[in-house]
Amino acid sequence: MTETEQLLERVATRARASRPWGWPALPAPVDASEIARAEAVLGFPLPALLASLYLRIGDGGFGPEYGLLPLLEGAPSGEPAVVPHYLAGRESGRRDPEWPWPEGVLPISHWGCGMYACVDCRDPDGRVLLYEPNADTAEHAWYVDAPDLATWLKTWLDGAGWYEESNDDADLPPWPDFARRTEDPGTP
C-alpha cells in the first residue's frame, strides 16, 4: 500500500467516526463526472489527492473544524460549495481590486469568522493556505498552513494543527506568493 493509500485509509476511518458541525451524515463520494465538471468550470485540474478525497471518501463533511466543503453543491450548514465559492471570490476580487482572490486557490474548508483553508492548485505540491479576511490588507490575509495537502491532513489526523488548543501560540508564515499571484498581468 502506498503512502497516499495509507493516508486515504486514515482519513476515511476518521471521517466515518466523526461528524463536523452541520453534517448529519458523511455524504456519498462524488463520481468522476462531477470531478470533470468541477475542473471544466474552474479551468484547471484539482490536485490528485484532493480529487481522491472527494471520489473515495465523501463530498465534504470531514476534516478539520467544519470539515471539507462539498465540491459542487452547498453544505447542510448553508456554506457554499468549493466551486461556487471560488468563483464568487474571483468575481468579488474583480469588483474590489484591493481584495483580489488568487487564481487557482480553492477554499476547501471553513474555519469560522470568514477564515478558510485553501489549496493552491497552481502549486505542484498543492500547498494549503489559510485565508484570514480579518486582516488590515489582502496581502496580510494569506498564510501558509502546510506545504501540501498530505501534510495538512496528517497534521489534522495527529491533532497537531495550529487550531488545536495545545498550539494556541503557533504562528503561520505569510504566503510569499500573494502579490505575484494577484498582480494584474497587463501591468508592467
pLDDT tier for residue 75 given thresholds of 50, 70 and 90: low
Tell me the whole-structure pTM to 2 decimals.
Answer: 0.90
Question: What's the half-sphere exposure (Cβ side, CA atoms, 13 Å) at 37?
Answer: 11
pLDDT tier for residue 188 given thresholds of 50, 70 and 90: very low
pLDDT, residue 33, reads: 97
Question: Residue ranges per domain, the chain?
Answer: 3-159+171-182
The closest of 168, 181, 169 to 131, measured between CA atoms, is 181
94-98, 157-161, 172-176: segment of lowest average pLDDT: 157-161
The closest of 46, 39, 47 to 125, measured between CA atoms, is 47
Q: Which CATH architecture has domain 3-159+171-182?
A: 3-Layer(aba) Sandwich (3.40)
Q: Are strands 105-112 and 115-120 parallel, antiparallel or unpaired?
A: antiparallel
pLDDT tier for residue 65 given thresholds of 50, 70 and 90: confident
What's the mean per-residue pLDDT of the chain?
89
pLDDT, residue 25, reads: 82
17 three-state secondary structure: helix
Angle, nearest 10°, between helix axes 3-17 and 149-157?
50
pLDDT, residue 119, reads: 98
Whether 76 has a pLDDT exceeding 90, the answer reads no
Share above pLDDT 70 across residues of the chain, in percent, rounded to a whole number? 91
